[in-house]
Amino acid sequence: MINRDVFAIDPASYKLANQGVAKLSFPPIGDDFRTLQAELSSFVCDGAYSTGLVRILEGFNRASAAQSDIPGVWVSGFFGSGKSHLVAMLGALWTNIGFPDGSTAEGLIQELPTEVRAALAELRAGARRSGGVLAVGGTMGRGASDPAAAIAGFVLRGVGLPDDPRAAEVALWLAREGLLDSVKARLGDDFDAELRAFVLSEELQAAILQERPSLAANNDALSDKLAAQFPDRSGQSMSVDDMERLIGEALRLGRKEIPLTLVILDELQQFLGQNQELTLRVQTIAERMSQKFGGRLLLVATGQQALTQVPYLQRILDRFPLQVQLRETDIDSVIRQTVLAKKAEARPALDGMLASVSGELHRQLQGAKIKHSSSDDADAPLDWPLLPARRRLWETILRELDSTRMRSSLRGQLRTTLDAAREYAERPLGHAVPLDFLYRSMAADALNAGELPRETWERIERLHNGEAVSRLKARVLMVVFLLARISKTVEIHGVAARADVIADLLVEDLGGEHALRGQVPETLAQLAADGAVIEIGGAYRLQTKESADWDAAFKGEMRARETDPSAIVRVRREMIVTGLDRSLAEAGSVTQGATRETRSVRRIGADDPAPTNAIVVRQHIGYDVSTAAAMKEIAAAAPADPTIHLIVEALEQEALATALKTRAAAEAVLAQRGPAATEDGREARAAMQARLQAADRDAAEIVNRAVQRARILLAGGAEVEGATPAAALKTAATRAVQRLYINFDQGDHAGWPAAYTRAKAGAPDALKAVDHAGPPETHAVGQAILNAVGAGRRGIDIKADLNSPPHGWSDDAIDAMLLMLARDHLVVTGADGQAVATPTSLPRATFRGCSFRRNTRPVTTPERLRVRKLLSEAGVHFTAGQEGDALSDLFQRLDSLASSSGGEAPAPAAPRFEGLDEVRAQGGAARLGAVADHAEQWRAMVPACRADAAKIAARRPVFALLKRLVGQGAADQQPGLDAIVAQRALIAEPDSVSPLINAAADALRTHVNKDQAAWAAAWNGAEHALHNDPNWSRLSPDQRRDIRQRNRLLPLDPPKVGTPLEVADSLDQCSLAQRRAETSAIKGRVEDALLEAAQVFAPKVRSVPLSRTTIEDEAALDAWLVKVRADLLAALADGPVRPGF
């Protein structure tokens, strides 16, 4: 049985549409039309192809139905993944394109999922409600270089117009003139060509003039007219506005509405490259197309990478929010269901063969990350005659070649797989496709692209045409070349060009080529002797003349390093220290006790001076010193010594030295040679870089092994073990802190933060938070502070001492105890040298900056009794024995009494508690004693202060009323008021304020009553005038009210003047001057009201003011009457008048 017998379709007769590489052009014409039909027939609508179509169609349907912005689509996938194929199928299904034999896109796809059919049905329904459907598109970069012009060209060609925008403008003008169809009919198949040359085409000009002679006198005139109307802009980029206008007009050509339009931009990422300006222009175009055209245009673009993976493409991410990514599994599914599809009846034989060679299958690429695994067993029959591990390696190599200059000449995986199936179809079942086939399928393209050195190609060709031994050499070189292409990413896939790997990849007969595994190492040795390959760290690379020169330079550098080992010592030490830093990063500190104090772990050299206030780890590096001698010193150290020792043994010393020399030599060669100008040079440089990477990797692995085996010991020789060196060091550090901070437990308590908070608030029992009920000086921390203070020290220095060994106490413990001791035992002095009366009021940082000294002034029991009496008299709460804690409240109470029993004039000056400021400035027991010295004097002042404060509180409102009355007009009382202020006689006896208030109120009451009587007389007269006016009598009540309001002819409320306060309040509402002004205004307001009443019945009536003069006799009276009569007669000429004075 041969391989051909298991295929569903004989590989020899299998036809692959378009050679397996999709070339997108919509709408298709000629050969593209036939190719599209073949692609549809073989389309496997499965996996990401199916879900991608559903997401694209449903996303458009939703947005179009809502008439919102249409989200663009980005289809991504590596070369050959089928992204162009997918969008071509989308374009065909969008219009359900028909073919000459009557078939349609939907009908040609054998198994179209229900979800896709449903989305297409919804699209068709939307098309019936609008202007139909249209699919256009092409490969970006194959036409116009300007994206706006290219996209416009796709749409123009899709509606049957030339893709040249200038020629299309002429066609659209003909359509607007109603001439397009008739001119096309006249020119027939030549229409497109003649339209592109419209300025010179006499045939086009004649056809237009035959349809409409009035457009121009002759052909030349029409040519000039068209040239002027449609100028040549070939040297300019098309504006986005022009693109939008042109596309919109083209889409409406022959339609009432814009159709549901699909625009495909294939290979957009390759077109953009890394041109940021071009990317920004495409972003603007995509935004315009998604927002315009009434929610009927969908933009779909393709690229090799997802937008989120490429920084310069992320700026267009918002324009293509719907993303479809094709992966290896998707193309795998297509290949297995097409080119590699198997007969059902052949599966038993195929499965049996694979079971018989399962050992060889599982041996493929063992040790690599893409090795054959048990999960591949189910895929092995589907992939045959390829092996799953080899297929993954193919994809890795093809993906690498995809990023080189070979990209445009590479064939897709479908084509490559088909060629492999054809070549191995005649082989017996059990013969698989080796890796060297991939080389043979792409060697010519690689040579032409400059990726395969000619020297290498010629060597391989010469050997391949020779005997069996030579052919094996050629095959080995083919595999070495392919694996060199992916050597930079060996850490990702794990496949290096080692002898066993090459043998795995060359085996064809899985059941009978065992001898090949022994031949491959011998062949590699022969090739190395011939100068064809070079071994670097167990892996082989191709050797050229250029690489031989590089190798000679490398050997020279190695000899130089053999004679100068000092540089290697320095690099080795740096690597080990860096390795220790990385390995022990988690052991940089430990915590101690209930307060969880952080203890720093500091690693230093074996002979370096030890830092203070840290756990010291001395490093003994076996590559530099004798670890045996170090172990003896450690064992002899005192068990109380807190030092930790770290021992790094000198593992694989020679191998490490060789790796470091190799790395240094390779670095030197790379620096000397610089960038390569030829392909051979680039290959040699890549080989040297691989050698550098391998040496670096070997050195790092040795150092890592040495670091991971590091030993941790305490002084005295006890070794500490752990799951990792970091864990062991943490355990050792936890033990070492007990040796370093021997007094720590005496002051360790979880309650210190609460104790500090309570001490800061002035609580006398703050130390109960740490379970201490006695005086602060009896606590271990208090004793240590008093001992540390000595003759006087700053708080920050005290803290530094007690933070350090042998104490190591927390900041909260030290600060809380300083606050408690400052009450009686310590005098606190600020930066200005003055005593701080209330240390608890200071910010923490300021408090630590203060100086502290012991308090030497004792307080006697009689003194405490005097203080208690003062506190009681002042109404300050205190606890017996803790009187000092109440002094701050006492000082505040005395300040309050003094300020309330005096103040600004007319109150008496505030009394002073003699010595209060000086006492306040003292601290601790000294302050308590000073209060005792003044206690009797201050206690006597407290009742008097309270009495004066009560009088002031009672008389201040009365004095304020007097000031109001004087200000309102009682000027006669101003001298008395001034005397009270000057003499500060507010609380003097007898009371001098009340008599002045009564006198002022009486005087003002008289004025108010007199003014009120005058106003009432004027008001009554006004009312009489209103009631006697005939016009006023004819007004309705509402009209009278409105006229009164407009003329402010309103009554005033009678003032209340019964008491002095009522007099003042009345004058605040209406002063004497205001009331007199109101009285004077009544007459004028009445006149204005009567005029307005007259105008209600005689709108033209107006007031005529009569002249005012002094009349001394009858003659003067007659003269005045004559003048008045003349003025009134003159005014009557313009209408009725109302005399006014």
Residue segments in the chain with a per-residue pLDDT below the cut of 70: 16-23, 78-81, 306-312, 328-330, 402-412, 679, 824-827, 829, 831-832, 835, 837, 856-861, 881, 923-924, 1140-1141
Kindly state whether residues 1092 and 1104 are assigned to the same domain. no
Kindly state whether residues 1013 and 1048 are assigned to the same domain. yes
Q: Is 212 helix (H, G, I), strand (E, B) or coil?
A: coil
pLDDT of residue 410: 38
Residues ≥6 apart with Cβ < 8 Å to 82:
22, 49, 326, 330, 331, 334, 412
Assigned domain for 149 exists: no
Kindly state whether residues 39 and 95 are assigned to the same domain. yes
If phi over 0 gives left and psi between -120 and 50 gives alpha, with beta otherwise, what is residue 29? beta
pLDDT of residue 861: 67
* The total number of structural domains that make up the chain: 8
Read off the pTM: 0.47
Assigned domain for 553 exists: no
H or E segment and range at residue 1119: helix 1114-1132
Q: How far apart are CA 748 and CA 812, in angstroms?
A: 11
Assigned domain for 276 exists: yes
Backbone dihedral angles phi then psi of residue 733, each to the nearest 5 degrees: -65, -35
Kindly state whether residues 674 and 813 are assigned to the same domain. no
Q: Is 1028 helix (H, G, I), strand (E, B) or coil?
A: coil
Domain coverage including residue 1075 = 1002-1097
Assigned domain for 10 exists: no
Kindly state whether residues 1093 and 1103 are assigned to the same domain. no
Assigned domain for 1048 exists: yes
pLDDT of residue 18: 56
- What are 936-961's pLDDT values in tens digits? 999 999 999 998 899 888 888 988 99
Q: How far apart are CA 335 and CA 1115, in angstroms?
A: 135
Kindly state whether residues 510 and 642 are assigned to the same domain. no
pLDDT of residue 464: 92
Kindly state whether residues 379 and 496 are assigned to the same domain. yes
pLDDT of residue 408: 37
Kindly state whether residues 592 and 661 are assigned to the same domain. yes
- Written as six digits, the tokens of 267 are 């290979």
Q: Residue 107 carries which side chain, given as an amino acid letter?
A: G
Kindly state whether residues 123 and 262 are assigned to the same domain. yes
Kindly state whether residues 381 and 437 are assigned to the same domain. yes
pLDDT of residue 594: 92
Assigned domain for 630 exists: yes
User: How is residue 717 annotated by DSSP?
Assistant: S
- The residue out of 252, 283, 311 marking a domain boundary is 252
CB atoms within 10 A of CB 371: 19
- Written as six digits, the tokens of 129 are 């409600």
Assigned domain for 967 exists: no
- The residue out of 252, 270, 305 marking a domain boundary is 252
- What are 162-219's pLDDT values in tens digits? 888 888 888 899 888 888 889 889 888 888 888 888 888 889 889 888 888 888 888 8
Kindly state whether residues 359 and 506 are assigned to the same domain. yes
Residue-wise over 216-253: b if at least 16 C-beta within 10 A, else e? Answer: beebeebbeebeeebeeeeeeebebebbbebbebbbbb
- Written as six digits, the tokens of 1088 are 């204005």
Assigned domain for 380 exists: yes
CA angle, 741 as apex, 738 and 743 as ends, to 5°? 105
Strand order in the sheet with 851-854: 793-794, 851-854, 826-829
- The residue out of 231, 252, 273 marking a domain boundary is 252
Kindly state whether residues 627 and 660 are assigned to the same domain. yes
pLDDT of residue 162: 87
